[in-house]
Structure 1
């Protein structure tokens, strides 16, 4: 499948892996693909930046990942534990990176590809075929993220207030202008 990827699209996948490695993540996910898209070039990058999704926003969303989520915080609160206070105390006692260092499975070195990334890249191929394109570009990767409709990248995009239907329309319209 990768033989059909354009050079910028290949660079997005390679950069996503590098971003995950740099963060010490075990696998690279759609959030790393999104980070690579907004850091690179091509139509996917241009559409995201025009919609207000840039590297700083994506990097902050990835960094904001906590070990426990909102549902966990609510469950702990029901038994009298304030998660925010616990996290604050850990940071005070052990430093700002204490939780990142303590998360099981986070290590430096080669990272794997998450199942959702595989799905998004397959969807990118389907988008290219559907649109009659010979190569898979960064735009198709973005369309794959949008078509998947879930995952961290999709959540970051919609969390930034971007309408995924409108973003898809912008990307597809961009193909018509480039032709």
Structure 2
């Protein structure tokens, strides 16, 4: 499938691997893909993000903080936290207790080897594994490209796939005014798509 990716989409995948390495994780997650998309300039995906209000560095840093907050919660979205709350489980309390016992960021699963599937503590050589979520994101981007009758998968298809799937990246983007419908309108028309 990678041969169908444009130069910009390939750069996003490569950038996601770099974000993964910098965070000390062994699995590339869909959040790494979002961070790599935010790094891009001069592409269709970056145009859509800029058009929807994510052009300035402060807003991009806010997205990165939102992703980091979710990592601290063990990768659970606010919807997950709300569902647990409905069952009488206070996620904030659990995170606090785990961090008291094991240190700040213990549920993040980063450089300490916990929860990242590597068994090693930091950077590792070789091919980086893509999590199920990241693989599903790549597959969804292919579906979106085919649905738009595009021959190649661009970074705009990756962005659309991120906004179409439930989870932390879509939630954080929506918090910043970037939704699936908004991205579609910016890229393919059909009305205004200004984020407020």
Q: TM-score, normalised by structure 2?
A: 0.69
Contact map agreement 1:29 1:152 (CA 8 A) in 2 = no
Structure 1 residue runs of 4 or more that deviate by more than 3 Å after TM superposition: 67-72, 81-91, 96-103
**Structure 1 match to 2:11:** 11
**Structure 1 match to 2:61:** 56
Distance 1:103 1:51, change over 3 A: farther
**Structure 2 match to 1:177:** none
Distance 1:6 1:85, change over 3 A: closer
Structure 1 residue 60: Cα displacement = 1.0
Structure 1 gaps, min length 5: 175-179
Distance 1:163 1:24, change over 3 A: same
SS class of match (1:24): coil
Which structure 2 residues correspond to residues 11-160 of structure 1 after superposition, within 5 A?
A: 11-41=11-41, 42-53=43-54, 54-64=59-69, 65-67=71-73, 70=81, 71=84, 75=89, 82-83=93-94, 86=97, 102=112, 104-106=114-116, 107-109=122-124, 111-147=128-164, 149-160=165-176
Structure 1 residue 113: Cα displacement = 0.3
SS class of match (1:17): helix
Distance 1:89 1:117, change over 3 A: closer
Structure 1 residue 163: Cα displacement = 3.5
2:179 to 135, 149, 163: 163
Aligned length: 167
Structure 1 residue 24: Cα displacement = 1.4
SS class of match (1:52): coil
SS class of match (2:72): coil
Query: CA offsets, 1:35-84, max 9 Å, x none?
Result: 10010131112212322335312321222222456438x6359xxx9557
Distance 1:98 1:104, change over 3 A: closer
Q: TM-score, normalised by structure 1?
A: 0.75
Distance 1:152 1:83, change over 3 A: closer
Distance 1:146 1:163, change over 3 A: closer
**Structure 1 match to 2:193:** none
Contact map agreement 1:30 1:151 (CA 8 A) in 2 = no
Deviation larger for 154-163 or 40-49: 154-163
Q: Distance in 2 between matches of 1:173 and 1:97?
A: 42
